[in-house]
Amino acid sequence: MRRARCIMVQGTMSGAGKSLLCTALCRIFRQDGLRCAPFKSQNMALNSYVTRQGLEMGRAQVVQAQAAGAEPDVRMNPILLKPCSDVGSQVIVHGEVRGQMPAVQYFRYKKQLVPEILAAYDSLAAEYDVIVIEGAGSPAEINLKADDIVNMGLARMVDAPVLLAGDIDRGGVFAQLYGTVALLDPDERARIKGLVINKFRGDPAILRPGLAPLEEKTGVPVLGVVPYVRVQIDDEDSLAPRLDQTEACRPIDAAVVRLPRISNFTDFAPLEQHPLVGVRYVDRPEALGLPDLVILPGTKSTLDDLRWLRGSGLEAAILKLAAAGVPVLGICGGYQMLGRSLSDPDGVEGGKPGAVCRGLGLLPAETVFCAQKTRTRVQGTALAGPFAGAALDGYEIHMGATRVEGAAFCRLSDGRAEGCAAGNVFGTYLHGLFDTGEATARLADALCRQKGLDPAGTAPLSHEAFQQQEFDKLAAAVRGALDMDAVYRMMED
């Protein structure tokens, strides 16, 4: 049976840029006429996505699949861990919830998942020409190596050559790369076929005197110095969003509340791309100020984050802004918080069964959590406020159901009402709300008119079209910096 060639990208640490390098490689292989699929055996992320089959997977592999021109498939990310506390996660295998597990229990359990990981990989390898594999964290985490299923352990199982990337932007890249190689076992070192220095700002000639000694000490060639590329591509599988703000001079100020367990913050990437909208993340009342729009995002721990919102003083600040007419939008967990009450009869949220929490009371809605998880892709049309008339194409991922007494936020394609609206306050379960571009444009136009601004000629591209442009930009930068001939030889060997 024909089997795909593969290449694996590992990093010296979390945040070394593995996800973007894999995204770039997926795009390059597609440009070179190859059918390519991404793969990450285990992803820890609060950014997730629902496939057309109604299954849940990590957002990073979705982005890589889009760069490769492939349909996102849970086989590309067979295990997804969604942290629900500092010591435990919801475990999702092949898109389905297997349960909540503390870290110690999961480390014992994960060995049982190896056959399922390999079945997913082998199935993809039979359908595609190239598999781009992403590692996690660092392969030199020697306390975790014995039962590794995502770095060198996986590379051994699927016989993958490895590119090892170090992050020069954080400093100490030579020590990162040398130290990582030095801590590996001989057979693991032999799998590393090339080193990559990532996120370099400046003239690569400055690094040249250090490259030959690094190659000599590690016995591995440096295949490229990749520049720091400024691209707007949905963030990798990090547990917290980037806090860099869009241009402060933009006239529309949208404030997203940075909840402790914020999830799916990529929902707001299309807003960031609008030339008149500045998006910033805030976690204290004094930072909130007087924005033109307040957004309560999704969260993995709605009740805990609602208590945090209350204790931080942000609840009072949001209520004051809403009373003054400032639009407030809640998505998923943020929508649940905006209602009158949240009940957890079975302890689904990880607390004591029977817990009842008062919501912000801005929407006539009540939420009851239950063990069954809703995962579905939906289309519809917005009905409420400045969003009215916008075509929507998104997905729902949530525990529990919300009973609404007031007006709906949108009408789904099957005729069902979804979400809730009351005056200047709006709530919906739809992730990807802004992806079509229509909700973005209508909201931005309304906020501009409210401030006496003319929004003419500022409609952004759809999120998909913009992402495609950014994929090409990223691929051009990486292709220009990386020895792709050497990469192809690695895969052939």
Spatial distance between the Cα atoms of 342 and 362, rounded to a whole number of angstroms: 13
The mean predicted confidence, pLDDT, of the chain is 92
Spatial distance between the Cα atoms of 7 and 193, rounded to a whole number of angstroms: 10
pLDDT tens sequence across 120-147: 999 999 999 999 999 999 999 988 888 8
> Which CATH number fits the domain that encloses residue 168?
3.40.50.300
Spatial distance between the Cα atoms of 225 and 207, rounded to a whole number of angstroms: 9
Encode 18-41: b = buried (16+ Cβ within 10 Å), e = exposed: bbbbbbbbbbbbbbeeeebbbbbb
- Which amino acids are annotated catalytic? 332, 431
Do 213 and 287 belong to one domain? no
Whole-structure pTM value = 0.86
Helical ranges in 140-248 per DSSP H:
152-158, 173-183, 186-191, 208-218
Residue 245: pLDDT band by 50, 70, 90 thresholds?
A: very low
Do 114 and 55 belong to one domain? yes
The number of folded domains in the chain is 2
Q: 174 is in which domain, residue-wise?
A: 5-76+106-233+469-492
> Which CATH number fits the domain that encloses residue 328?
3.40.50.880
Do 224 and 371 belong to one domain? no
Do 132 and 205 belong to one domain? yes
In which element (H, E) is residue 101 found? strand 96-102
- 451 close to 252: Cβ distance less than 8 angstroms: yes
Dihedral of alpha carbons 94, 97, 101, 105, sign: negative
Encode 403-430: b = buried (16+ Cβ within 10 Å), e = exposed: ebeebbbbbbeeeeebbbbbebbbbbbb
pLDDT tens sequence across 371-426: 889 999 999 999 999 999 999 999 999 988 999 998 999 999 999 999 999 999 99
User: How far is residue 222 from each of residues 26, 192, 226, 324, 487, measured CA to CA in Å?
Assistant: 21, 11, 11, 58, 12
